Amino acid sequence: MLDKYPKLKGILHYLLVHPYTSRPRWWARTFLIPFVIKRGKGSIIRRKARLDIIPSKKIKLGIKSVIEDYAIINNGMGDILIGDYTHVTSRVKLVGPVILGNYVTIGSGAQITGLTHNYLDISKPISQQGVTPNQTIIKDDVWIGGNSCINQGITIGTHCIIASGSVVTKDVPPYSVVGGNPARILRQYDFKKQEWVKINK
């Protein structure tokens, strides 16, 4: 709706968000953001979590899901939807648009982003070229090891393990273990054999 009125949109954005830190102003963090977040029963957001939230985008936290201290949650470029029983541990960074399924656990220091920075115009600094949203999706029952990086536009399938320190640059099929930089599939579950099978290079 506000897209039809760019001047009004700009004024409202200025009132809500600091012009060059992309962080909501103190009054918005105190009086507005707590009412923007849709919270499931028993969900927890620790007091020291950093919530860079704007009301024009969605943020949802499912039943008994937790966002720990020092996590950074930013929905400035797209919705952040977190399922049930999902644990966003300390120092995790989520930059929307991102969808996390149910029973997802994210280790400390991991980063999941749903956007990329534009760089093609060499006459402008990259920092002034804006970003392009590209939704990242983490399906149910995924464990993401600490200090991993999940790039924009990636889909990680059900019941996957992402080894600590991995850099995931492409989609991960369900029931896979991946690791490395760039991450590659190390093991997959074979439903015929009913066991995890090592994948050779």
Give the other-Cβ count within 10 Å of 117's Cβ: 12
Q: Is 54 exposed, middle or buried (0-12, 13-18, 19+ CB in 10 A)?
A: buried
Pair of tokens at residue 170 = 């492409």
DSSP SS3 for 68: coil
Which positions are catalytic? 117
CATH code, 39-198:
2.160.10.10
What pLDDT digit, counting tens, does each position of 75-111 carry?
A: 888 999 999 999 999 999 999 899 999 999 999 999 9
Radius of gyration of the chain (CA): 18
**Residue-level pLDDT at 6:** 72
The backbone torsions φ and ψ at residue 91, rounded to the nearest 5 degrees and listed phi first, read: 65, 20
**Residue-level pLDDT at 130:** 85
**Residue-level pLDDT at 139:** 98
What pLDDT digit, counting tens, does each position of 136-155 carry?
A: 999 999 999 999 999 999 99
User: Residue 19 and residue 168: Cα distance in Å, rounded?
Assistant: 32
The reported pTM is 0.84
**Residue-level pLDDT at 184:** 95
The backbone torsions φ and ψ at residue 9, rounded to the nearest 5 degrees and listed phi first, read: -60, -40
pLDDT tens digit at each of 201 positions of the chain: 556 777 776 666 666 776 666 677 666 666 667 767 889 999 999 999 988 888 878 899 999 999 999 999 998 889 999 999 999 999 999 998 999 999 999 999 999 999 988 999 999 999 888 888 999 999 999 999 999 999 999 999 999 999 999 999 999 999 999 999 999 999 999 999 999 999 887
Strands 149-150 and 131-133: unpaired
Domain ranges of the chain: 1-36, 39-198
Quickly tell me which residue has 């599939």 as its tokens.
185
Cis peptide before 97 (omega within 30 of 0): yes
